[in-house]
Structure 1
């Protein structure tokens, strides 16, 4: 009896601690705490621009002009930013190689390539240039699953081992002089790569494309005429994948000097960089306007960056800002369209849109690189902006309905209209975001310390960069991640959404789960762990039900919404389901035993039962009070 009493006290104290944490999230002011500036916050990585889950741009630390920014998938977003001051170029965004061109492109950068392959060990010397591979099988790279896979493979590889020889023709080796040469590859699981018999690299599994510079010795082995890239890859389990190629540095901007980073400031809706470019100071702000509190902008697939130059000496300078985007790297060779509409110059490649003010802006396209530049010399505006938009073409399938994105729920709107709407008032939107960031900055440091602010503020952009917003047929907001209505992920996002008082997004996470459970086809006494993979709600992806966790989390999240709004209406709409889940947890509790060890360490399911039922009892109290 004493043991059970002790265990219940431990659980009670855990609940008190959790309640205290939630109370801190609600906190808005503590007059005795010092407010810190955000310039000291430097997350290891964060979302620069929250556009759509397919194209949301991330940066690692303060590496804006040390490496390319990345998409959420890990693939690079090949954008280069330069500021020319009196003819001298400074790079404030992009990699040190700036642009690379394929000598032998990867499958994802082209429509595939031809290679010779064998699943059996071909014998000693198979990697040499002189080896005779005329009897080998011929197939198109990459090698791996040819259907339903994330990577564009063209030849099925189902064996444990594969040996591939790729013939690469070099017309003039002299073009490689004074240029960096790179091997790019993706493999599952282990790869060994050779060039003309010389060893280049060995590495393990990577589902992201890796890039490794060749040594001068390796480059010297390349000859005029036929060269051999040879790869051995071993698959230790699951699906196998192999792709590899050669790339050369493109020195279009070889004269560009890296700008000096003076300051970096990460806020909730935007990130600011200040660079020194000779005598000119450049301020770059990345702004995600869909993070504003305006309902009509939720889920807008548009972001923008503003740039402003200034000098301390007052001396006049001729200044030009330039952006270069490699669309071939992103999409392959696609058609690029350009037009001017209502004072805005638009450029479109596949589903990516770019726009700058047409005045003093020039556009060019070479080798599938979009180049937009604007003069900022004396007598003209010393500031401007670059708009980015992305149109996801897939509509969401839910219960036999095709639901469009919230911003285009009737199917009549276009990305360029949204971009012009943002562009025509981007300074006002930035001012609005400045006010929000200031307020949330103060709140973060009042509710916690620097570590709390560093975790909470970037999470806002990370959330919207990984979620899609749609409107149901009965005008309810649905908010989906890649795994649709994942209860555990929703539960993990709730503290951050509570902090920012986004009860609308909190409901958007729960609405599809409630709708799914209130359908006649769902007969279980607990909610699903998830309802499918984007873009189709079909069946649960996770094999285990995780019934107790899902039921408890739903009860706790609903309680959080009711307490935040001080309105019982949302729980009342779904009261039958909430009672059903509470009854399920009560039944599970009756069947459980409580040994003296392992309650909090090895079996959190019982703790979840307690927390879920505590949340339900709180709802019962709120039902009477509200």
Structure 2
């Protein structure tokens, strides 16, 4: 596990209890992604990140009476939820009723330094009960999940099956059609593969396939579940709502805690179609033929895995708190699984090549979108820079024409994306071109950052990529210092001609390329070495300084003297120890944001509207290296998350005068929250 450096004193002021807009439960990848948007776990049905119901039900039977703790079930009354804590890899709910305390913990082993754990397609739910009143109570627990977890529409026919293996029982539900990789799109939910529930074989635990109403009603009335499986299949998921149900008899529960654990996950069979070549999940290439095998193998050491997750959470939360107080700890913990759950680690079926894929999520649904990887990049550069490279690898392969005949890439700039999740099949003519922005400068900046994080080494970078990288550097030289009328990452605002922040990114991209060349000992042609590209960056900076300045700050566009914008792209000057732009630029911009544009919920993106991007705010806060300013920003982001009435996985596009949601949800770009920790990791200071 990597070590984080705590550099600031502990913050003394505690904030009120945090109410996330939506709580991550089990979040493994874009398809297996279950959230709860209620204040309490029993207020609403859990959902997929897209909003479609992924029903999970939970009932406690205490001394002959039933109480619900998960899902808006009727008729049982609810237990009382007394706490909710969202950790990076785990979410803990605590309930009380009739002298019994019940803790329900959802754990996803998304540890980025361990690819075997990161790739596991399942998580665990641990139920722990204890008596609070000095008495002993007879306790049984009920859990079920619906077939909604494996369909896009509830009208799709499903089938189910049970199996026993190695001391465990498994229940699987999947669509009858099983059209693997047969549908793509942003809000498309998976409808191939099988949702899998696993429980240890034990006399106190039983499992059944049953109609939801029948199974739940029997447990409420008697504390038992049906003795035989419902076998009427195939049938639509919504036809009497077939569920996988589990009864866990805890027996007499006193002060000593009693626990049970179950495992829930998704076997998608194949994860990505990469220009006609299927990519299998990484976990299934590591000796696990099936998800049952994977669960059996993992359960042997699951207590150690959970302990590793708890230790990681504790260390990361301490670093977040030391760096930015309670608000930073809470926001950083909330978005951790949001970011990891946007990605999928795979192995090429033909070559064995390992790749890491990111879904854009809720703003387009594209796969491997470079201007989405870019704002998320601080997260991966912090925890495991190899993963950042593995996200860029398929983009590089496409640019190098190593994918498939008929997809000849001849554009002088880097690709924007590779297709629509989960199918990478885009042709160059179909690209959403952002020549300076999302493609070229972003790729060069991220490559240099990976090199810096890899002990300033480029051994990980194949030599065959250098001709393409040189062409990208040369492209930037031809279009700077004024990128003209191009889209930037904030394309929802439309084209921004002569964009100053975009020009800064291109200039820093050239400086980053010069650094990368120095690390690798490479040059372009006979005369274009790193010094050449750095000299061009210096020339362009002079133009930028003279044409973008507007009294006490720098403009949105070269041709708009009364405009302004967040210059978040300057972050990479801090990360990569550049001296391209003078320190006065940072000082003037910071003062302008702080004194003229700080609203109750943050600083707007620019003068065109009052909305902002939470990820870019975190970049600006990190690049300021001003603790008070960062605290102001992160506290406002935390307050937006707490106050917004739109209960979806945290948006990155939000209003600043009010806690109003503008658009987007669950996007991986919120990895930008970790920009400050990345800067501290790359520039350790004594406490």
Give me the TM-score of the superposition, normalised by structure 1.
0.65
CA distance in 2: counterparts of 1:522 and 1:543, whole angstroms: 10
Q: 1:607 Cα shift?
A: 2.6
Partner-residue secondary structure (3-state), 1:378: strand
* 1:29 corresponding residue in structure 2: 6
Aligned to 1:548: 436
Alignment-derived partner of residue 457 in structure 1: 333
| Residue of structure 1 in register with 2:358 after alignment | 480
Q: Give the whole-Å Cα distance in 2 for the aligned partners of 1:403 and 1:321.
A: 39
Say if 2:31 is the partner of 1:54: yes
Q: Secondary structure at the match of 2:386?
A: helix
1:408 Cα deviation after fit? 1.7
SS in 1 for 2:346: strand
2:480 maps to: 589
Deviation at residue 399 of structure 1 after TM alignment = 4.1
- Quick one: which of 535, 539, 563 aligns to 2:452? 563
Instruction: Tell me by how many angstroms 1:83 deviates.
Output: 1.1
- Secondary structure of the structure 1 residue equivalent to 2:158: coil
* CA deviation after TM superposition for structure 1 residue 539, in Å: 1.1
**1:303 — aligned with what?**
123
Shift of 1:593: 8.0
Residue equivalent to 1:207: none
Instruction: Quote the residue 1:208 is aligned against.
Output: none
CA apart distance, 1:592: 5.6
Matched, 1:342 2:166: yes
Structure 1 residue ranges without an equivalent (≥5): 1-24, 99-252
Aligned equivalent of 2:312: 436
SS at match of 2:94: strand
In structure 2, the partner of 1:322 is: 142
3-state secondary structure, aligned to 2:289: coil
Deviations 1:328-363 (A, max 9, x none): 686455333223333222111111111222211122
Query: 1:147-546 counterparts in 2 under 5 A?
Result: 253-254=74-75, 256-291=76-111, 293-327=113-147, 331=151, 332-350=156-174, 351-359=194-202, 360-367=204-211, 368-378=242-252, 382-409=258-285, 413-472=289-348, 473=351, 475-481=353-359, 482-499=365-382, 501-519=383-401, 521-539=408-426, 543-546=431-434
State the Cα deviation string for residues 244-291 of structure 1 (Å, max 9, x = none): xxxxxxxxx51x221111111111111111111220001111100143
Following the alignment from structure 2 to structure 1, what is the Cα–Cα distance between the partners of residues 141 and 415? 51
Question: If you compute each CA radius of gyration, which structure gives the higher value, 1 or 2?
Answer: 1
Computed over aligned residues only, the root mean square deviation of the Cα atoms, in angstroms, reads: 3.2
Name the CA distance, whole Å, in 2 between partners of 1:283 and 1:36. Answer: 28
Higher strand share: 1
Contact 2:143 2:245 in 1 (8 A): yes
Looking at structure 2, the residues matched to 431 and 279 of structure 1 have their Cα atoms a distance apart, in angstroms, of 28
1:579 aligns with 2:470: yes
Residue deviations 1:268-323 (CA, integer Å, cap 9, x gap): 11111111122000111110014363222232111111010111233111000101
Is contact 1:35–1:446 with CA below 8 Å preserved after alignment? no
- 2:416–2:433 CA contact under 8 A, matched in 1: yes
* 2:87–2:334 Cα contact (<8 Å) kept: yes
In structure 2, distance between residues paired with 1:40 and 1:383? 27
Change over 3 Å in CA distance of 1:468–1:55 after alignment to 2: same
Bigger fraction of residues in helix: 2
Hey, what does 2:503 align to over in structure 1?
A: 606
User: Following TM superposition, by how much is the alpha carbon of 1:516 offset from its aligned partner in structure 2, in angstroms?
Assistant: 1.4
Superposition deviation, residue 567 in structure 1: 3.1
Alignment CA distance shift 1:393-1:356 (3 Å)? same
TM-score, with length taken from structure 2: 0.59
Moved more, 583-592 or 275-284: 583-592
C-alpha distance in 1, partners of 2:12/2:396? 40
After superposition, the C-alpha distances for 1:12-68 in whole angstroms (9 at most, x for unaligned) are: xxxxxxxxxxxxx99621152348999944431242112332221112253311101
Equivalent pair of 1:403/1:409 in contact (CA under 8 Å) = no
Q: C-alpha deviations, 1:500-533, integer Å up to 9, x for none?
A: x221221121111111112263222211100112
Distance 1:579 1:44 in 2: 45
Q: Equivalents in 1 of 2:102, 2:60: separation in Å?
A: 8
Q: Count the aligned residue pairs.
A: 441
CA deviations on 1:438-490 (whole Å, 9 max, x unpaired) are: 11001111222333333322322112222221124253333232522100110
Moved more, 258-267 or 615-624: 615-624
Counterpart CA distance in 1 for 2:518 and 2:280 is 39
Instruction: Find the counterpart in structure 2 of residue 232 from structure 1.
Output: none
* Partner SS, residue 318 of structure 1: strand
CA contact (8 A) 2:483 2:502 kept: no
Change (3 A) 1:422 1:290: farther
For the residues of structure 2 that align with 1:38 and 1:390, how far apart are their CA atoms? 37
CA pair 38-362 structure 1, distance change in 2 beyond 3 A = farther
* Shift, 1:583, TM fit: 1.1
Q: Is the 8 A contact 2:48 2:54 kept in 1?
A: yes
Change in CA separation of 1:318 and 1:590 when aligned onto 2, cut-off 3 Å? closer
Please state whether the residue corresponding to 2:135 is helix, strand or coil.
coil
Q: Is the 8 A contact 1:264 1:272 kept in 2?
A: yes
| 1:88–1:558 distance in 2 versus 1, CA, 3 Å | same
Q: Is the Cα contact below 8 Å between 1:397 and 1:535 reproduced in 2? A: yes
Rounded Cα–Cα distance in structure 1 between residues aligned with 2:149 and 2:337 = 25
Please say if residues 49 and 288 of structure 1, whose CA atoms lie closer than 8 Å, have aligned partners that are also in contact: yes
